[in-house]
Structure 1
Amino acid sequence: MFCDVVDSTALSMQYDPEDLREIIRSFQDACVGVVERYEGFVAQHLGDGLLIYFGYPIAHEENSERAVHAGLGIVEALDTLQPRPGLRLQVRIGIATGPIVIGDLVSAGANVEKVAVGQTPNLAARLQGLAAPNKVVISPHTYRMLGQRFECREIGVHTLKGIPEPVLVREVIRQRVRQSRFAAAHGMSVMPLVGRREEMALLEERTQQAAAGHGQVVLLRGEAGIGKSRITRALVERAGAQHAVVPIELQCSPYYNQSALFPVIEWLQEEIFSSADAVEAGQKWALLDRFLDRTTLDKTQAAPLLAMLLSVPVPTDHRALNLTPERQKQLTLQYLANLFRQLSPSPLTLTLMVVEDLHWADPSTLELIRVWMEEGAESQSLMLLTSRPEFSPPWPTQNHFTSLDIGRLPDAQSMELVRLAAGDANLSESMLQQLMKKSDNVPLYLEVLTKEIVLTNQEGASKGLSPDRPEFLDSAIPESLQDALMARLDRMNDTKSVAQVAAILGRDFDRNMLEAVWSGTREALHYGLEQLCKAELLQVRGDVAKGLYQFKHALIRDAAYDSMLKRNCETLHRQVAEVMERVFPDIAVRQPDVLAHHYTAAKDVDQAVRYWLMAGQLALKGFATQESVAHLNQGLALLANLPATPERDVRELEFRILLGHCLMTWKGYAADDVRVTCARAHELCGLVGNAPQLPIALYQLVAYNIVSGNLETALGLAKQLYAIAAHINNEDLLLEAYLTLGVIYFHLGELSQAKTNLEKCVETYDPQRHAAHMFQFGQDPAVVAQNFLVWTHWLMGRQDQALRTAEAALSLARRLNHPLSLAFALAFAGWHRIFCRDYTAAAPFSEELVQFCGVQNILIFLAHGHMMASWQAFDQGNTASGLPGMRGAIDLFRMTGAKHFLPWWEGHYATTSATADGMSQADASLTEWLETTERTGERWSAAELHRNRGVLLEKSGKPLVEAQACYRQAIAVAQQQGALAWELRATMNLASSLIAQDAKDQARRLVESLLTRVSLDLDQESEAQIDSLLAACGEAQGARPAPV
């Protein structure tokens, strides 16, 4: 747009330069104010004139209209402007629309200005010269883009300097009152499928196999617009014509790619509740129950699992499931897979499940597909998946899985598609070739560009222009699909705004939500939706009455979204979020990530951060740990851009604490991400000062350091936790402080300290007041404390007390029915029996532990169960299964990230697996693990490792003195720790070695010294070994010295 002051020469004669400068400045200020109101860009100040761009640097919607509004606004503004008494300025304005190239040119004084190069700026300047004072004139292209928005009159065809063709010039009179547009012709039917014979033949073959009971999964991969959805529609139609079919169609979304099972939830909400927002909470349970009657699923489990997935309240009289997070997720996926397959009304019905756009799928949806694949090979089901090329299936290849890459159409088929899209229009061969070149044979590009050309040709023909002219081709065929889509959107006039607002909601949207956000009349909105559907920009999903719509293609939605100013997008996103909060509050409860997305796009960091935190919390409650991590990282990314303030640090701390918990669950306690997150949380506690989260941050750091083998660091942190708890006299924190100290002291081999703290934990524990700890900290503190007390008592020679404590821990765990706590109790009770070499008593624990943890998917204790079973098998003579079983258990244990107990397990494995040729290697392994205990501080099993090394040296035929040195070292370590059980074992090994040297008196004195020094409460196996040793030394059976 060019605008210039009328008769500026006369003004220069009338006013002195200083006054004239102020007059021109007031004129420019008035113009700039109006231009900025319509998002224009003032490129140059040309003396008494201005050069203004619309559509640069940010793409706007309806740029021509904005320019005309600005032109009329400038005229109106100048009408009230009096820079000097009695002086009223007049202006001439010319507007032209067309392609330009904008670059930086340096003018005098090194001022950089954005200068447009091309015919359009020249045309606008020439048009400005034709305008009457205080009038706006426009080019033909601008007039076409305006449609019927303004009243205009023709002021003749003019030959303009530098413009090759005569130009029909129009003057804008005023803005037209918006009218109902004429009823459009019937919308074009869905284009027939062109080509794809080989692809369809393969898909039909897979359909026949599926119908015969051999389930199939097919993935269609291809670039955007290649025709994946069209092929999918064709297969659904053909399958429905040949078979009884139950179609299930899921649509993934880029907005919700971290919302667990989003497409599944959307489908279930629609299928079960039709309009979920209008159904009372109490009715939803009944509707869900009725829906499940269509299947043979166990409703006692399936109903509450699906209710939790759909945010439906579970009746209070329904039995709680008491599942671990991983087990709940596993069962939910299992029931969903079975549910979808059981919706068929008869055994002869084919289940056809379509999941589109897997490149936007959330991790849980991908896991559901994996579950379906693993169990669907012998079912009457066909799963058809679509994705873009960048998607790589995360599941292993199986025989009933087919991946099919969809390529671009051959020239002949592209030509056929163009002719179908053109209808009755006659396109020249040259235009067809140009179309083929610009579309790259991508079906959607071909279809959209062809329709654009047909419309442009019709407009050009009315003006006597030949469509075969190169200039016409250049203007008629946009340089990109985006341009073509934008042109189609611009032609929708007032209905374009409907598409834009709908684009804010996403590719799929609900009319009810759109109505709540829409600022115009309801009639205008419905009319806009109708016109957009007729123009084939939108399509109805399912029953029209449900009001569910979808942009015909993701690219159309993107074009509508990108056509808006960023400021407008931000405003609309804010409106959507506020409407959801006010009108659809259940969305905030069920899908806080949706509101977080909208507030993020609205650049409302406060609200966005609040909802990302809620989304992370909700995902974690639903055991969608990966999604929770994604939500929390979104919020942290927003916080990272804020200046460092106490308020910001407090909010980040909330995220870090929750993120630490999620990462420990997902990646393991020793993951590097856990270290970074926990360290930052601890740092933030220091920055915030008196942070209530400090104890939790310390607890997380303690857990990380214990599992990472940094026991000294863990001890220092646990002492800090205790100091805080003691200072504020908080019993809840003292309980956990005693537990962490007791567990750390046990690992360090400081058994007396461990016993003291573990007993304090048990004494502090109240089942009523502290039952919630098993959910806050992952396991019940009393169960864990009693479990470690079992081992502590046994090591300290208190066998009866160890047995009583094991029974109490197991009883409490079974009563609480908390999976992880029960796994703890089963494992520690079983190991205690193995310590006592009572394999008959240990076997039921290892068997129950393996079965229980296998079902609940508690991998770390599943490893314990397998290790116990394999240990028993080897010690009972079954080396064929014992040794490989132990190795597999250790590998599984490592996979969880755990490092504690590894010296004990690896040391035992090295000793038991050593062969005659591998003694030196086994000895090196034991030596390495002994060094590990010194480095990490995990010395509770060090005495046993020294003893094992002595046994290994004896087996290898080394001089007995070397083995005896190991036994003596084991005894010294055990005595230092008060580990009488380890001391007894090492003493018996040393005594046996001495007897082998015929040093019976020395052996007898060694054993008698131990028996007279302490009172041992021994297990039967140890009692028998002592009697046997004393007999070998010449003592009468049962002649034991009494302890002093």
Structure 2
Amino acid sequence: MLDIASWLAHLGLDKYIETFTANEVDFSALRHLTEDDLKELGLPLGPRRKVLAAIATLDADARSMPTPEPAPVPAPPVRGAERRQLTVVFIDLVGSTELSQRLDPEEMREVFRAYQSAVSAEIVGYEGIVAKLMGDGVLVYFGWPAAHEDDAERAVRASLAAAAATAGLTTAAGEPLATRIGIATGLVVVGDLVGEGSAQEEAVVGETPNLAARLQALAEPNTVVIADGTQRLVAGLFDMVDLGHRQIKGFAAPVRAWHVTGEADTEGRFDALHGVSTPLAGRTEELDLLLQRWQQVRGGKGQAVLLSGEPGIGKSRLIAALVERLTGEPHDRLRYFCSPYHVHSALYPVIRQLERAAGLLRGDSPDTKLDKLEILLRQIASEVAQTVPLVAELLSIETSGRYAPLELPPQARKSRILAALGGLVEALAARQPVIMIVEDAHWIDPTTSEWLDLLIDGLQNLPVLLIITFRPEFQPRWTLFSNVTALSLSRLDRDEGSAIVDRVSGGKKLPTDVKKQILAKTEGVPLFVEELTKTVIESGYLTDAGDHFVLSGPLPPLAIPSTLHDSLMARLDRLAPVKEVAQTGACIGRAFQHRLLAAVTGYDAARLDDILHQLESSELVFRRGVPPEATYTFKHALVQDTAYQSLLKSRRQRIHARIASTLESQFPESVEAEPETLAHHYAAAGLLQQAVAFWLKAGQQALRRSAHPEAIGNLGKGLDLVARLPDSEGRLRQEIELQTALGVTMIATRGFASPEVLQAFSKARTLSEKLGDRDQLFVALSGEASYQVISGNLRAADELGLQCLELARASGDHALLLEAHHRQWATKSYMGDYAAAEHHLNHGLANYDRDRDHRLTHFYTGHDPGVCCRNYSAQILWLRGYPDQALERCRDAVALAEGMSHPFTIALALSNFTDLYLLRHEPDKARRTLDRTIALSKEFGLQRENVEGRFQLGWALAEEGHLIEGIREMREGLAAITAMGAAAGLQHNLCVLAQACVECGEASEGLDLLDRALSMTESGARFRLPELLRTKGELLLRQNSQDEAAEGWFRRAVTMARDEGTKSLELRAALSLARLCRDRGNDGEARDLLAPIYAWFTEGLDTRDLVDAKEFLNR
């Protein structure tokens, strides 16, 4: 509906809009205005006359207007307002104001009636809706209340016809009438009832109606001007002139407009709408089948192929590929295109094919047309005297003077024409093979269908390949012929869809998530893939970065392309009486359960089953199972999107609220299994507090299942919503829990040293301090401490750990105390304070209970404290000189972890086991545990363990003697670890790489690595420090035989190891020093250095370090 402002603008009285608005004059008041009223409003004589003349036509004309009987359209439901794409046509009678001043009101009334009747007849003929008659103005909708897949095209065709019909009208005095027509397409809200009584109508809200009204003012008399949005939908179907960008009142930006001059001369709808499109993707088997049938045709055996598939599946593209393959082969090609506007026009596709073949033009005279037809037919057949009159009559070409008129009854005339058409095909086939293509047979007229009956029946002995394409709802009657093959096109697979995306993007890669969304939404329908890809590229959300696109910001849900919107909406509107149930199902999701839908809608079983049967029969949804246990799924994701987006946002919210409350009250098992579903519905309903609670629950549940990407997504959605809640204690608690859960998830996926870990726990710490909640503060401090220790900020980690211990002791809570010791055994180990670490580890070993304490995994640092305790204990056992006990402790850790089925904990235990095997110089065993670690890490997205595994692989390769390959893997692993910000254990990793460099003759690089490792002691890091000192000595010895310098480093290593009580490191340092002594000839000193420490060991005597020491002592 146009408002009072648009109505005045249409009359050319824009400057009085403010006056009418200020005096609250709307359409209902308009009809009661008198001349005195208009004087009081300040209107001069001329404008008063214009307004009164226009008012006079409003009601009387609308009531008395003779409206032609429209073609049957699906009955609309009891309608509420909807969001939908609408094509709006505004038609204006040129010069109506001047006519009203010259004509008597009764004469003017007759002019209006004739004009409105002529225009309305054309509109209704194309199944448009005359929404409002305003005297000289007619407002028309295409796409409401029932959409068609080609509403924009219908609107343009109807407008051209309306302009032509009006041009044939005159006043009583013989003055010709003319119209100006504007068309625009866009998203509107339509269906709200406004006004009262006879003035009541369904309003359209949005800029589209006003744009159409403004565009008509740009049109010349008896012409049509369309907006750019409409042009994109009909480009190729009509000839147009670009009017450029025009500044239009009421629109901030210039609007591009197009003048439609007439229908384009194109072969078919596919070529017109899609032009040169992307190459065929997939369809190898289907194309091979068509080529096989062609080979049979070349052998003289006629074939017919019935090619079916849903809209956009690629029927026309497959045929285009076949035609391309036949290029260069001798053949004739005949193409016939059925039309949705000519389903009752006899032989329409045949007529159009003959007109194209003969080269007939609109402006040709009858004689010229006949000449061209004769030339065409003589090229095909030698005897044309009988054929020309028949075909000429079919094409409505006059033959008087050249051929005798056909004096035949209608049925005989039709039979003769069909026989003549068949004879032309036979004549062509007698010269060379023929391929006949009949497209869109779901729109075929009865007579063309009858002609195909005759053709297929006589096809077997003709070298003709007939291909008929149609949609699945069409039931062809030619399937029983022996030479007929049925071929149904299915959807493309993911790789084939991906290839289309790449071609549309010109080979430039789209962001992975964007491509994933496109493929998920389009589900292998080629046209959908193309159009959605184009829409995304043109959306402004992507930036061209040369050979690829990057997101310029967050990607919103992908919008339905305007080119597909009408087609998808038409599928729903064909089921108008039950569309509301489809919309409710769309709110539930792509798939919806019968029981839930019944509970939400409140329909009784019989009624609901009938509705769902209609949806299933229409192939909008498909069913699994038997009601009431059945589940229904929308056949296509874009159909679900269309049904969902057609709902007003306010109505969507009400439906989502009903779904959420129904789920929570009647489906507790679903809520427990999928809390994210309830969270989604509460969020969509605008009930944010409830949504946050269930996003938190969903995130925590995903975390317990080690579904880390899902956990991050759920918790992130909860944090987005909690920020919109008003300040309260409840909000603070929810945000703290969300942040700490997110921190735990980030530890597993991004690593302890990820900035996201610190960000989450620091935010939780701030909120906990604000709330004064000491338990939550402990969680936050614990998470921060974990970040700091792995980042290498050991003094900061130690301080945070001490705060955790203080809070835990004050609370007396067992769990908090266990986790506080957990923080400290890690920190103290990396600080080289092994005695303190053992103190904390002993508490863990003594007090951990799996059944009671495994739950802590999901609340603190994402891994089990009992397993972690055994991991660190094994490391210290090895350092203390108990390599076999360390091995047993590792086995205990892995067994405990595997019994929990918690991937991150298992990966940590396996990684630690690998480290111990490598310390024992057992690379073959290390490779076995390492393979399992890497496999787990990849499966569950455990980034740190994956890159740590890369380094361990290099270490193992170097131990096996594959130095070059091992060094490469270690370097790449170290680079990845460093990029993650992880520094804990980095000292020893640098040392291992330096040792490999020594063996490879790269002592200089090894020294640089060691210097980097030793510089880390400034931050308090002393992890396996004696080994670094020993290795420095070895490097100096290898580099320049610096005996004295090397000796100093060896002696420092021995002394430090003794002071620490790290017997395994003391053994290695003593052996290095002993070798130096022996090389100098001091064999006695060498034995005195090594023998005592070797004698100390009571286990692990078969490990390489101890074997090497024994061999040295035995020489």
Q: Report the Cα distance in structure 2 between the residues aligned to 1:704 and 1:1027, rounded to whole angstroms.
A: 43
Residues 533 and 828 of structure 1, relative CA distance in 2, 3 Å threshold: closer
Query: Does the CA contact (< 8 Å) of 1:92 and 1:131 recur in 2?
Result: no
Residues 799 and 666 of structure 1, relative CA distance in 2, 3 Å threshold: closer
Q: Report the Cα distance in structure 2 between the residues aligned to 1:594 and 1:941, rounded to whole angstroms.
A: 50
Q: Report the Cα distance in structure 1 between the residues aligned to 2:1083 and 2:677, rounded to whole angstroms.
A: 80
Q: Report the Cα distance in structure 2 between the residues aligned to 1:708 and 1:720, rounded to whole angstroms.
A: 19
Tell me the alpha carbon deviations over residues 555-583 of structure 1, each in whole angstroms, 9 at most, x when there is no partner. Answer: 77666655654433322322232233344
Query: Does the CA contact (< 8 Å) of 1:632 and 1:655 recur in 2?
Result: yes
- 2:995 corresponds in structure 1 to 911
Query: Which of the numbers 690, 695, 699 marks the counterpart of 2:782?
Result: 699
Amino acid at match of 1:762: L
1:203 aligns with 2:228: no
Q: Report the Cα distance in structure 2 between the residues aligned to 1:798 and 1:543, rounded to whole angstroms.
A: 62
Q: Report the Cα distance in structure 1 between the residues aligned to 2:944 and 2:876, rounded to whole angstroms.
A: 21
Report the CA distance between 1:553 and its aligned residue.
7.6
- 1:635 corresponds in structure 2 to 718
- 2:658 corresponds in structure 1 to 575
Query: Which of the numbers 1023, 1027, 1036 marks the counterpart of 1:940?
Result: 1023
For the pair shown, which has the larger CA radius of gyration, 1 or 2? 2
- Superposed, 1:3-42 pairs within 5 Å as none
1:676 aligns with 2:759: yes
Query: Which of the numbers 1001, 1004, 1015 marks the counterpart of 1:931?
Result: 1015
Report the CA distance between 1:773 and its aligned residue.
4.8
- 1:539 corresponds in structure 2 to 620
- 2:136 corresponds in structure 1 to 165
Q: Secondary structure at the match of 1:541?
A: strand
Residues 855 and 235 of structure 1, relative CA distance in 2, 3 Å threshold: farther
- 2:747 corresponds in structure 1 to 664
Q: Secondary structure at the match of 1:50?
A: coil
Q: Report the Cα distance in structure 2 between the residues aligned to 1:969 and 1:769, rounded to whole angstroms.
A: 46
Residues 780 and 617 of structure 1, relative CA distance in 2, 3 Å threshold: closer
Normalised TM-score (structure 1): 0.53
Query: Does the CA contact (< 8 Å) of 1:625 and 1:666 recur in 2?
Result: yes
Residues 228 and 669 of structure 1, relative CA distance in 2, 3 Å threshold: farther
Q: Report the Cα distance in structure 2 between the residues aligned to 1:1022 and 1:193, rounded to whole angstroms.
A: 81
Q: Report the Cα distance in structure 1 between the residues aligned to 2:911 and 2:929, rounded to whole angstroms.
A: 9
Can you give the 5+ residue segments of structure 2 that lack an aligned partner in the other structure?
A: 5-16, 34-40, 80-105, 114-132, 140-194, 202-267, 291-307, 320-486, 517-522, 532-559
Report the CA distance between 1:1017 and its aligned residue.
5.5
1:956 aligns with 2:956: no
Tell me the alpha carbon deviations over residues 619-661 of structure 1, each in whole angstroms, 9 at most, x when there is no partner. Answer: 3344432122122211211111223332211111121122122
Query: Which of the numbers 860, 872, 889 marks the counterpart of 1:788?
Result: 872
Q: Report the Cα distance in structure 2 between the residues aligned to 1:124 and 1:554, rounded to whole angstroms.
A: 52
Residues 384 and 877 of structure 1, relative CA distance in 2, 3 Å threshold: closer
1:686 aligns with 2:769: yes
Amino acid at match of 1:757: H
Pick which of 227-236 and 1016-1025 moved more. 227-236
- 1:992 corresponds in structure 2 to 1075
**Identical-pair percentage:** 24
Query: Does the CA contact (< 8 Å) of 1:123 and 1:163 recur in 2?
Result: no
Q: Report the Cα distance in structure 2 between the residues aligned to 1:844 and 1:573, rounded to whole angstroms.
A: 56
- Superposed, 1:827-866 pairs within 5 Å as 828=912, 831-832=915-916, 834-837=918-921, 839=922, 843-844=924-925, 846-851=927-932, 854=935, 857=939
- Superposed, 1:149-548 pairs within 5 Å as 165=136, 172=197, 203-206=282-285, 230-232=311-313, 406=527, 444=564, 501=584, 504-505=587-588, 513-518=596-601, 539-541=620-622
Tell me the alpha carbon deviations over residues 980-1021 of structure 1, each in whole angstroms, 9 at most, x when there is no partner. Answer: 43334334423433444456677677668x769x96657546
Residues 574 and 982 of structure 1, relative CA distance in 2, 3 Å threshold: same
Query: Does the CA contact (< 8 Å) of 1:3 and 1:51 recur in 2?
Result: no
Q: Report the Cα distance in structure 2 between the residues aligned to 1:1031 and 1:770, rounded to whole angstroms.
A: 51
Residues 3 and 957 of structure 1, relative CA distance in 2, 3 Å threshold: closer
Query: Which of the numbers 760, 780, 802 marks the counterpart of 1:719?
Result: 802
Tell me the alpha carbon deviations over residues 77-98 of structure 1, each in whole angstroms, 9 at most, x when there is no partner. Answer: xxxxxxxxxxxxxx77689xxx
Q: Report the Cα distance in structure 2 between the residues aligned to 1:884 and 1:965, rounded to whole angstroms.
A: 31
Report the CA distance between 1:678 and its aligned residue.
1.8
1:979 aligns with 2:950: no
Query: Does the CA contact (< 8 Å) of 2:883 and 2:1100 recur in 1?
Result: yes
Q: Report the Cα distance in structure 2 between the residues aligned to 1:591 and 1:210, rounded to whole angstroms.
A: 46
Q: Report the Cα distance in structure 2 between the residues aligned to 1:383 and 1:824, rounded to whole angstroms.
A: 39
Tell me the alpha carbon deviations over residues 175-197 of structure 1, each in whole angstroms, 9 at most, x when there is no partner. Answer: 99xxxxxxxxxxxxxxx995799
Q: Report the Cα distance in structure 2 between the residues aligned to 1:1029 and 1:684, rounded to whole angstroms.
A: 62
Q: Secondary structure at the match of 1:613?
A: helix
Q: Report the Cα distance in structure 2 between the residues aligned to 1:501 and 1:157, rounded to whole angstroms.
A: 47
Tell me the alpha carbon deviations over residues 209-266 of structure 1, each in whole angstroms, 9 at most, x when there is no partner. Answer: 999xxxxxxxxxxxxxxx996344869999xxxxxxxxxxxxxxxxxxxxxxxxxxxx
Amino acid at match of 1:850: D
Q: Report the Cα distance in structure 2 between the residues aligned to 1:167 and 1:1019, rounded to whole angstroms.
A: 98
- 2:709 corresponds in structure 1 to 626
Residues 123 and 591 of structure 1, relative CA distance in 2, 3 Å threshold: farther
Q: Report the Cα distance in structure 2 between the residues aligned to 1:140 and 1:492, rounded to whole angstroms.
A: 30
Amino acid at match of 1:541: F
- 1:734 corresponds in structure 2 to 817
Q: Secondary structure at the match of 2:197?
A: strand
Residues 583 and 906 of structure 1, relative CA distance in 2, 3 Å threshold: same
Amino acid at match of 2:766: E
Query: Does the CA contact (< 8 Å) of 1:159 and 1:166 recur in 2?
Result: no
Query: Does the CA contact (< 8 Å) of 2:313 and 2:525 recur in 1?
Result: no
Residues 928 and 137 of structure 1, relative CA distance in 2, 3 Å threshold: farther
Report the CA distance between 1:403 and its aligned residue.
10
Q: CA RMSD in A?
A: 6.0
Amino acid at match of 1:765: Y
Equivalenced residue count is 684
Q: Report the Cα distance in structure 2 between the residues aligned to 1:754 and 1:516, rounded to whole angstroms.
A: 59
Q: Report the Cα distance in structure 1 between the residues aligned to 2:530 and 2:840, rounded to whole angstroms.
A: 74
Residues 233 and 525 of structure 1, relative CA distance in 2, 3 Å threshold: farther
Q: Secondary structure at the match of 2:620?
A: strand
Report the CA distance between 1:742 and its aligned residue.
1.4
- 1:434 corresponds in structure 2 to none
Report the CA distance between 1:664 and its aligned residue.
2.2
Residues 621 and 746 of structure 1, relative CA distance in 2, 3 Å threshold: closer
Tell me the alpha carbon deviations over residues 895-919 of structure 1, each in whole angstroms, 9 at most, x when there is no partner. Answer: 8775432321222222222478733
Query: Does the CA contact (< 8 Å) of 1:160 and 1:167 recur in 2?
Result: no
Tell me the alpha carbon deviations over residues 453-484 of structure 1, each in whole angstroms, 9 at most, x when there is no partner. Answer: xxxxxxxxxxxxxxxxxxxxxxxxxxxxx9xx
Q: Secondary structure at the match of 2:282?
A: helix
Q: Report the Cα distance in structure 2 between the residues aligned to 1:971 and 1:636, rounded to whole angstroms.
A: 53
Residues 1011 and 446 of structure 1, relative CA distance in 2, 3 Å threshold: closer
- 1:66 corresponds in structure 2 to none
Q: Secondary structure at the match of 1:674?
A: helix
Report the CA distance between 1:955 and its aligned residue.
0.6
Amino acid at match of 1:203: G
Query: Which of the numbers 714, 722, 727 marks the counterpart of 1:644?
Result: 727
Q: Secondary structure at the match of 1:593?
A: helix
Residues 938 and 137 of structure 1, relative CA distance in 2, 3 Å threshold: farther
- 1:770 corresponds in structure 2 to 853
Query: Does the CA contact (< 8 Å) of 1:946 and 1:970 recur in 2?
Result: yes
Residues 866 and 147 of structure 1, relative CA distance in 2, 3 Å threshold: closer
Query: Does the CA contact (< 8 Å) of 1:2 and 1:50 recur in 2?
Result: no
Normalised TM-score (structure 2): 0.50
Report the CA distance between 1:944 and its aligned residue.
1.1
Q: Report the Cα distance in structure 1 between the residues aligned to 2:906 and 2:650, rounded to whole angstroms.
A: 56
